[in-house]
Structure 1
Amino acid sequence: MNTRQPIGVGRRQFLKASAATALVGAVHGAAETPAASEKKATLIADENRQPGTDDWQLTRVRLDKTTGVRASTIEGYCSKQSVLAGESLEIFVSTNPMAKFHIEIFRTGYYGGRGARLMTTLGPFDGKKQADPVMGDERIMECRWEPSATLTIPKDWPSGVYLGRLTTQSEASDKPYWQNYVVFIVRDTRPADILLQCSDNTWQAYNKWPESTSLYTDPRGAHARGVKASFDRPYGKYVQIYENPQSIGSGEWLCFEFPLAYWLEEHGYDVTYCSNSDCLDAAQITRCKTLISTGHDEYWDLRQYDAVKKSIEAGVNVLWLSGNACFAVSPLAPSSDGREKRIIERVGHFAGLTDAEVAKEEKVFTKDFKRVGPDESLIIGARSVVPFNGGGDWTCARPNHWIFEGTGMKEGDSIPGLVGWEHHGSPADIPGNEIVAEGLVWAGGVNPSRYTATIYPGPKKNFVFNAATIFWAQGLSSPPGHMLPWSHWSRPHGPDERVQRITHNLLKRALA
C-alpha cells in the first residue's frame, strides 16, 4: 500500500519559515566564499529554498539497557539502501509493546540552517513486536519482518539522504512517546558536478544490532574472515568512539558525513547522493565530474575498486575526504529473498599493509587474514597504516600548493585535532603524487603513527586528493543533529575557515 500523504503548509507558517531562512542565510552569507560568487542555479540550490523544519531530530529515545545499542520500543529498517524516484520502498517497523506509530520522512540538507525538510507523514499504523532473527551461517542476523508501510518515492523528490522518524503515539496524553530512525538514500541518474557516496557499508559492518553481532564480534577475532552482515535489520546506536543518541537508526550519517552534505548544500553545489552499493559500475560515477568519499569508508566490494579506478582513468576527480578507506574486501550479495546487494561479507583485505605491519598487530589480524584485493593506495594516493587508530593535528607541508590559496597557512601550521580516528599514511608510488600535509597521529594517545595527505594528477587533467582523515567534514560545518566526536584523547574543534577554503579550492579546480 502507498500511504503517502501530501504536506499542507499554511500561509502564515510559510511566511514565518521564509523569513527565518532569509535571516540565517544573511548571517552565513556575510563573508562571500569562492563558491558563492560563482553560484549557479541548481536543483539542490532550488531545493534548499524550500522551508526547512526545526523539529526533525530524535527527542525521546530509550535503550533496552544502558550499555546496549538497541531501542526495541520502536525500531525499523528499509528494504533498500537507495531508491530512485518513482520506485517503491518498504519500511519494516517493530514496536514492543504493541503501539500505534507514525513515520515522518525528512530529507537532510541545509535549508537555511535547519538541517532537514519534512517531505511527508505516513500513518498512523498499528504496531506489533516482530520476531528477532536467529543467527545464521557466518553469524548473519537477517530480519524477515512484515512491511509496515510502502512508500513510492515521488518524482519531484531530489537525491539526498532521507531519515524516517518513527514515533509511537497514544490516545492517552499522559503516556510518553518514543522515537527511532530509519535511513535511506534517494539517488538519481542525472549528470551532476558532485557525487557524494555515503559510506553505508561501513555503517552496517559496525552495526551491533540486536546485541554484539557486528563483523567485529566473531569469537575468532575482530578481523576474522567469513563473517556476514545484513542490511535487513535496524541500525543500533553507534558503537565505536563516542556516545551519540542521534545515531540510533541512522547509521553513521549524522556522526561523520552530514556536516559535508550540509556545507555543500549551504553553498549551492550541484551534488547528488548514492550508497556504496551504487558505485559498482563506473557509469554511475562518470556521469559526475567529482566523486567524494566521506567519513569512515572502510568496506568495499572489489567491483567498486575497479569502477573508481576506471572513473579516474576516464577523467573523474576524486576527493577522499575520509580515512581508512577501501580497506576491507566485502563483496555484496543478495538477501535470502533475492533482493540484490543486501548482505556484505568480509573475505579479507586490500593489499596495502606490509607483512611487518600485520605482524605488529597479530592480535587484530588473525591467522586467516588474507590479502584478496589490490593496493588501495593506487586509487587513494596513500593507504591505511599500523597503528591505524589515533588523533592528531593536520599540518601544512606545501604552503605554496594551490589547495592552500587564500588560507594563509605556512609550512608547519596545523589545524588542531583534524586527523582521526583512523587515517591514511604511507604515500603511493604514483607519478606526480605530492604530500600536502603530514604529521603524527597518536594511537592510544601515546603511540606515534604517521599520516600523509596527498594529491596526484589523473590522466585527463583531473586529480585525486586524499585528506587522510575521517574527521575532515568536522572542519566544514556543525549542523543541527550533529555532535563533535572525540577519540584517543584527541578531538576536532569543529568548523574551520582553512578547511572550508581548502575544500572550496579543490572543488573550484575539480568543477572548472
Structure 2
Amino acid sequence: MSLITAENSKPGSSDWQLTRMRLDKNEGFRSPVIEGYCSRQSVKAGETLDIFVSTKPTARFKLEIFRTGYYGGCGARLMTELGPFEGKEQPVPPIGEKRLRECRWEKTTSITIPQDWLSGVYLGRLTTLPASKDEPYWQSYIVFIVTDDRKADILFQCSDNTWQAYNKWPDNYSLYTDPKGNQGPWSDVSFDRPYAKYAQIYENPQSVGSGEWLCFEFPAAYWLEKEGYDVTYCSNADMITPDHGLKCKAFISIGHDEYWDIRQHDSVAKMRDAGVNLLFLSGNSVCWVTPFSPNADGAPLRRIFRGGPYGGDYKYAVDREKNHGPYPHRGPDEGYLMGVRNISPVNGGGDWICTKPAHWVFEGTGMKQGDSIPGMIGWEYHGDAPKDLPGLEILAAGTAFQGGTNPQQWQAVIFDGPKGNFIFNASTIWWAQGLSKPPGHMPVWSHYSRPHGTDARVQCITANLLKRALA
C-alpha cells in the first residue's frame, strides 16, 4: 500500500472548514478578532514551526491542525489540537520601506512536526473559546506545507508566492496596490503576516488565512489522493534548491502560479533536462521574476517583490519594461520551459476547445475536433507557442474574451523533453476545477465566464498524462 493510500485510509474529519468568520469591516480583508501566520512556508518532519496569533479583543482560543487530502470524501484529517491559549492583540506593523507590512509578533506556540505527518498542505483552524454559551465563537486559518525529500512519483508545487503577491493584509497592501501602479517593482510583501481573505476576482470570506489553496489548488490534490497517486508537496520556496525535484517522475505546477524566483525556473529546467515530465496545470505561470530576501530578523525566503518579467526579448516582456519599468531583473523566455507564453491581454474567459483529437492525450475522452469543455479557460491563460520547440503539438486552442469583449488567442500544448519525457501545458488557472469539487472548495468565476465544475474529460486527460509520465 502506498503512503498516500495508507494516509487516506485513516478517518477524515467532517468538521474542518470555517463556520463563523468576522472581517474588520464590510468588504474588508482581515479578521482581527482572530488571525495568525507561520514562521515558514514549508517544513519537514522533525523540524519546528513557530505560530503567531493575535486576538482582538483578548480571547482564549484553540488551534486544530488538519492535513488536507481525500479521506473518503471528507477532505481533511485532524492531526492534533493545541491549546487552549490566552490570546492577546498584537500590533499591526507600520508601513515600511516599499510599503512593506511585516509583523514581528510574539510567538504563541511552536510545533515540531511528527515523523508520521505525511507531506501535504496543512490548515490550522483558529477558534476563539467564548466564556459563555451565549457568546459567539470566531474562526480563521493558518496554512503551511509539510514537504520531504522522498522519491515520490509526483511533485506538486503549491503556488504560494502568488498567494502572497495578492495578499491584501491588513488593508489593501499587496504587490498590486501601490499608488504608483499595479505592475511595477515598487512594493515588497512579507510572508510574516496573516493571509487576508482571497479577494481578487470574487468574494470568499471563508478563505481567510488559507491563501489561494482552497480556491484554485485543492481540487487537484483531492483528486490525486482519491485516485491513489504517489504525490508529495512543496512550496515555491522549496524549488530554489536545484535538486529538489529530480527524484520524481512528474512535476505539477498548479492553479495561479505567476511568481517565480529565477532559481525556481532553473531548477525546473534542470528537471526537464534530466527527464522529469512537466505538467503545467496552471495559467499565467512563470510570469514575474520574484527574488526572495530575508525578513527583518534575517530569516531567509520571507520577502518577495516583482523584480521584472520573464520573456527574454519576447515582445510582451519588452513592452512591460517600457510601460511599467525599469525593472532590476528580466527572466528568460518562459515559452521554452512550459511551451507557451504569457500574452496580452492575459486574462479573460472561454471554452477549452480540442484541436487534435487523435493525440494520445485525448484517448478515452470521446472528444472530437472542435469539441469544447465549457468555461475551462480562465481567468488567465497562455498562448503564442515558440515554433521551434521539439515535437510541439497544439492540442487545444481558441479565443478568450477579456471583459466579454476584448479577444485573445490561447493555446494548450505538448512538446518533447530531451530524454523521452514531455512537457504539457493546459493553459488555464482553472484546470483543477475540472478534476473535483471537494469540501471547502470555493467555485470561481471571472471575466463573464466560469468553469462548470468536475468534468470527466479533464479527469481522463489528466489520467492519460500521468499514465504516460509515470510509466
TM-score per shorter chain, which class? Answer: over 0.9
Q: Give the letter for the 2:368 counterpart.
A: K
Structure 1 residue ranges without an equivalent (≥5): 1-40
Counterpart for residue 85 of structure 2: 125
Which residue of 237, 251, 254 maps to 1:277?
237
Q: CA deviation at 1:57?
A: 0.2
1:422 — aligned with what?
380
Deviation per residue, 1:188-242 (Å, 9 max, x gap): 1100000000000000000000011100111111011142110000000111111
1:108-507 correspondence to structure 2 within 5 Å: 108-351=68-311, 354-355=314-315, 365-368=323-326, 372-428=330-386, 429-507=388-466
Letter in 2 for 1:372: R
- Give the SS at the match of 1:284: coil
Q: Tell me the distance in 2 between the aligned counterparts of 1:62 and 1:500.
A: 36
Equivalent residue, structure 2, for 1:18: none
Once residues 35 and 389 of structure 2 are traced to their aligned partners in structure 1, the CA distance between those partners, rounded to angstroms, is 47
Shift in Å at residue 245 of structure 1? 2.2
SS of 2:98's equivalent in the other structure is: helix
Task: List gaps (5 residues or longer) in structure 2.
Answer: none
The alignment partner of 1:421 has SS state of: coil
SS for the counterpart of 1:390 is: coil
Counterpart check, 1:80 vs 2:40: yes
Structure 1 residues 131-163: Cα deviation after superposition (integer angstroms, max 9, x where no partner): 111111111111000111111110000000000
Letter in 2 for 1:406: G
What's the C-alpha RMSD, in Å, of the aligned pairs? 1.4
Tell me the distance in 2 between the aligned counterparts of 1:355 and 1:511: 36
Residue deviations 1:275-327, cap 9 Å, x none? 00000123111011111000000000001111111110000001000000010
Alpha-carbon deviation of 1:445?
A: 1.1
Amino acid of the residue matched to residue 369 of structure 2? E
Amino acid of the structure 2 residue aligned with 1:469 = T
Shift of 1:355: 3.7
Rounded Cα–Cα distance in structure 2 between residues aligned with 1:493 and 1:499: 11
Residues 357, 445 of structure 1: alpha-carbon distance in 2 compared, 3 angstrom cutoff:
farther
Using the TM superposition, name which of 344-353 and 326-335 deviates more. 344-353
SS in 2 for 1:264: helix
Aligned counterpart, 2:18 = 58
**1:95 alignment partner in structure 2:** 55
SS in structure 1 at match of 2:394: strand
Cα distance between partner residues in 2 of 1:442 and 1:326: 22
Normalising by structure 1, we get a TM-score of: 0.90
Distance in 2 of aligned mates of 1:42 and 1:291: 19
Give the number of aligned pairs: 470
| Structure 2 counterparts to residues 19-58 of structure 1, below 5 A | 41-58=1-18
User: What's the counterpart of residue 5 of structure 1?
Assistant: none
Kindly state the Cα deviation for residue 170 of structure 1 after the two structures are TM-superposed: 1.8
- Report the Cα distance in structure 1 between the residues aligned to 2:73 and 2:121, rounded to whole angstroms: 16
Q: Distance in 1 between matches of 2:318 and 2:29?
A: 31
Tell me how far 1:66 sits from its aligned partner: 1.2
- Offset from partner CA, 1:347-398 (integer Å, 9 cap, x none): 1111268447865x89x94243576110011100001110111000000010
Letter in 2 for 1:417: G
Give distance in 1, aligned partners of 2:206 and 2:382: 28
Q: Is the 8 A contact 2:316 2:344 kept in 1?
A: no
Which contiguous aligned blocks of 4+ residues in structure 1 show a shift greater than 3 angstroms?
352-359
Shift, 1:71, TM fit: 0.8
